[in-house]
Structure 1
Amino acid sequence: MKRFLFYITTKSYGAYLNLLCFIAPKKATLIAYSLFSQPRKGKLDATNLPPFLAEAEKETFEKNGQNFQTYIWKGDEKIIFLIHGWESNTARWKKLIPHLLETGHTIIAIDAPAHGLSEGKEFNVFQYASYIDIVSKKYAPKYIIGHSIGGKTSLYYQATYQNPSIEKMVLLGAPADFKVIFENYIKLLSLNSRMVQLLHQHYWDYFQIKVEQFSAQHFTPNITAKGFIIHDVEDKIVLYKEGEKITNHWKASVLETTKGLGHSLQNKDVYKKIVDFLSDSN
């Protein structure tokens, strides 16, 4: 029943936008972009945080009038950044963090725009990357671990900001091409060609980037850090071929294939391989 209601709702939104784009194109574009960029879940309640987050040291930063939240587990001078994905928050790292603490390194996790305890209603990779840059200027990370769109953001960040302190990056179930996510949204709402054209123009007008160019193919050649790509062959959210694409374009990366873990990749063997990768001196 829930699936049926979701289907009816999404197709109704699509039909409305397909009509509106001919009558009021600007309004239709803003609504379509809003539906695409505003997470429906992933927020945290500051008064009822999971214990491991409540006990962490916290630091708030600001970007364009909006505060965003970080959590810190102090260790040595080597710093690991954790970058979560869409409709998630720092709580997703609960099982990995104890393994990372065994390295003795400092861990800093960032709540994405409009997620966790970070303010805002809109999520986009460009803003998320700017958050990483702000925190990086205070705490120079040596390692970055990103899950899903957080992995995509990590790629974009390093390719764009060229942070020399970063030596290794771990991407978990990350998409290679933003176009795949974009086209899935188009298909979900059954948007017409006029509406699609307007959305493409919106990305160019506001972010100066073409959707098809927002790809690992264009980012990874600029990244010299070593990459460890972990992707599950049964991932139904971000298909396995996306992990293969990233690895094919990123010469300094290797692909670790799993089976049966899905998109979350929450598994002790995965955690151990991440720690081993970060600890390897080669």
Structure 2
Amino acid sequence: MSRGAAFAGTALNALAGPAPALAGRAAFGLFCHPLRRGKVLPRERAAHERAAVEELTVAGKRVRVYRWGDGARPVVMLHGWQSRASRYAGFVPRLEALGLTALSFDAPGHGDSEGRSTTILEYREILRCLQDRYGAFHAVVAHSFGATSAFLALRSGVRAERLVTVSAVTHFGHLADEFGRILGLGPGLRTDLRHRIEHLLFADVQAPWQLFDATHRPEEIHVPMRIIHDTDDDMVPVAQAHALKAAYGDRADLLVTSGLGHRKVLGEAVVIDGALDFIGAGPGESGRGGF
């Protein structure tokens, strides 16, 4: 646990005794808003700067979109919480070599996009807008919270030929549970947080914990998928990848790595190779790796 998280958790737990409602509002605010915006890393700079930059608007917020290619055979790449599109820099030349267009975006509240926060529903709307602009996707690649969003989008009219998930958050409730664990929140604050997520953040959504779960109604998603997850992921246990595999059966293969963790996996050669081998495989082929 970082010093900042430990301090915030201690302060919130202390406040929860005399002022539980105030502590609950503060915890909910921290949950909804990224604490930092990811910066473009030196190794990402070259790819980032040669992207064609576009914009779209979702929920009144301008969203920065990046494109490498002419728009044909698009592969859209979704980043996770407190991340940004440039994390996929290592994927770009490989996709271009396959004759594919690489697409990504900074979600609201992230990177160079407007806003202070985003939701899974905004991710879905962004994918719908990009599909309207470029057509159905050759593939979707998604990391962490972005993967959770990809499953919802694919059950909601977004079309793709293949799906690659990396460090996927399979169970939507894990987001609240992991936030509570990182801050060391007491049981009362954890319960209050889940209540606020359900009744404030998603007040118009029926049963969000079920609806946003990546294993919800698996029969509605027919695309072949590759699930990539690291055994040493310290934020999303590899058990969630096994749950995805169990839900989607023969439609999915599972590539398990080790020693990579959660935050930096998109820059690792074994992850890029595993994703691109699958994306570039012909119809009916699964690419190298697998079970």
Same fold by TM-score, threshold 0.5 exceeded?
Answer: yes
Secondary structure class of the residue paired with 2:104: strand
Q: 1:261 to 1:198 in 2, by over 3 A?
A: closer
What one-letter code is carried by the residue in structure 2 that aligns with 1:173?
A: S
Name 2:289's counterpart in structure 1.
none
Matches within 5 A, 1:97-246: 97-140=92-135, 141-159=137-155, 161-163=156-158, 165-187=159-181, 188-193=183-188, 196-197=191-192, 199-207=194-202, 208-210=205-207, 212-213=209-210, 214-246=212-244
1:50-99 per-position Cα deviation (integer Å, ceiling 9, x unaligned)? 33222210110012221001000114621100101111101111122121
Name 2:253's counterpart in structure 1.
254
Q: 1:114 to 1:4 in 2, by over 3 A?
A: closer
Give aligned pairs, total: 272
Give me the CA root mean square deviation: 2.3
What one-letter code is carried by the residue in structure 2 that aligns with 1:12?
A: A
Q: 1:185 to 1:209 in 2, by over 3 A?
A: farther
Secondary structure class of the residue paired with 2:260: coil
Native 8 Å contact 1:76 1:104 kept in 2: no
Native 8 Å contact 1:17 1:32 kept in 2: no
> TM-score, structure 1 length as denominator?
0.87
- Following superposition, which runs of at least 4 residues in structure 1 exceed 6 angstroms of deviation? none
2 CA distance for matches of 1:4 and 1:88? Answer: 20
Name 2:10's counterpart in structure 1.
11
- Runs of 5+ in structure 1 lacking a partner? none
Name 1:271's counterpart in structure 2.
272
Q: Are residues 1:20 and 2:19 paired? A: yes
Secondary structure class of the residue paired with 1:7: helix
Native 8 Å contact 2:78 2:104 kept in 1: yes
2 CA distance for matches of 1:182 and 1:83? Answer: 20
What one-letter code is carried by the residue in structure 1 that aligns with 2:165?
A: L
The more displaced of 268-277 and 223-232 is 268-277
Native 8 Å contact 2:12 2:23 kept in 1: no
Alpha-carbon offset, residue 142 of structure 1: 2.0
What one-letter code is carried by the residue in structure 2 that aligns with 1:275?
A: L
Q: 1:236 to 1:209 in 2, by over 3 A?
A: farther
2 CA distance for matches of 1:5 and 1:91? Answer: 26
Name 1:31's counterpart in structure 2.
26
1:9-68 per-position Cα deviation (integer Å, ceiling 9, x unaligned)? 3221233245433xxx4x5544322200211222558xxx93322221011001222100
> TM-score, structure 2 length as denominator?
0.85
- Runs of 5+ in structure 2 lacking a partner? 285-291
Matches within 5 A, 1:40-59: 40-44=35-39, 50-59=45-54
Q: 1:18 to 1:51 in 2, by over 3 A?
A: farther
1 CA distance for matches of 2:185 and 2:70? Answer: 49
